[in-house]
Amino acid sequence: MKRLMCFLLFSIPILSLLIFVNYNADPGNLFGAAPEKMVGLFMEGKSAYVKSGNVEEREVDKKLIEAMPDSPECIAVGPSLVRWVNSDMVGSEKFYNLGMSSGNGYDVLAIFGQLERNGKMPDKVLFCVDTLFFDTAIMENNKSWLPYEEDVQVALDMIGSSTELDDSQIEILAAKTSKYGQLFSLTYFQSSMQYISENGISGDAKIGEPDAEYQGAYYLKDNARVSAYHIENISEADVEEEMEQYITGSSSSKLENAITPNAHLDLEQVENFKKLITYLQENNVEIKFFLHPFPPLIWDYIIENGSYPMVEELDVFIHEYSAEKGIPITGSYNPYEVGCGNEDFQDYRHMKAERLYKYFDFEF
């Protein structure tokens, strides 16, 4: 008993400190009202920055859909590849970017489920079509969509899909409450302490409006991303080094984590994609496909390596399907068809925003 008391007297203060620091610093903006504050600024026609650089984009998209005063003229959906497309590029003031980092097939379906639930279906959809929509291994390994499972189901029912979501209520509950595990995380504590060292335990607001001198990353009023100045202006040598690390797996971001090696397009997801497009067209929603190119260095590796057949399969499928459905395409997975080089990219996969203006036509 004495040992137990000593253990408790020692551990409880430490545990309390860990929880206090992680909750109050919260570098990932897991526990505060960051999404609501961002959307509040958007509704006022203002841009927003996230001081820590991290926010749950899926929750921002959900709150944004709920806050829209009426149905938007145009939206963009897809993974992070589409996140830099803004209203100026699309040519619409009633545009919202509803893309998200690592957005897979179920993430996209969740967006349409939320639009349907809120009666906010748009007139036009810029659809960034990527292998992530059809890669079920990634969809099972990264279940960031699971807290929005009800929205996915709404979309599946809406399009008449036979896909059954077999995740248990325990899995769904665990996904919705997983963030609370970060309160006890030493890794999160390290990030929290770094945030505190830079900003203080209370500091200024974690969400704010950038001024003219601000050079960090931020979000425009339409939720499109703007990269930090040093990222947008990365040198060709530095970005090519990032690309080499990406394909060799020597960095935290790896090609094999974005495209499952030796996997093929999932036929069930192909059918869901077709049903979604058919549903949108039958409801007079205009669609344009955006195919974001790979950097030449990475495209060459994919073609020569031969371990990523899904890329070429999708290329064939989307061109045949777009012709069948009369849907225009801007872009290509093949950078040589676009005419872009490694220097046009801000990292191993995403193009610099200014180059999107140069190479693509996003207007309808």
pLDDT tens, position by position, for the chain (364 residues)? Answer: 666 556 545 566 767 666 666 677 777 777 778 999 999 999 999 999 998 878 999 999 999 999 999 999 999 999 999 999 999 999 999 999 999 999 999 999 999 999 999 999 999 999 999 999 999 999 988 888 999 999 999 999 999 999 988 765 556 555 566 777 777 677 876 777 777 777 776 555 789 999 989 999 999 999 999 999 999 999 999 999 999 999 999 988 999 999 999 999 999 999 999 999 999 999 999 999 999 999 999 999 999 999 999 999 999 999 999 999 999 999 999 999 999 999 999 999 999 999 999 999 999 9
Count CB atoms within 10 A of the CB of residue 162. 9
Confidence (pLDDT) at 17: 65
List all residues 6 or more positions away from 348 whose beta carbon is below 8 Å from its beta carbon.
Answer: 239, 242, 243, 245, 246, 251, 253, 295, 298
Confidence (pLDDT) at 8: 46
Q: Structure pTM?
A: 0.91
DSSP string computed for 141-154 = H--TTGGGHHHHHH
Confidence (pLDDT) at 311: 98
Segment (H or E) for 18: helix 2-25
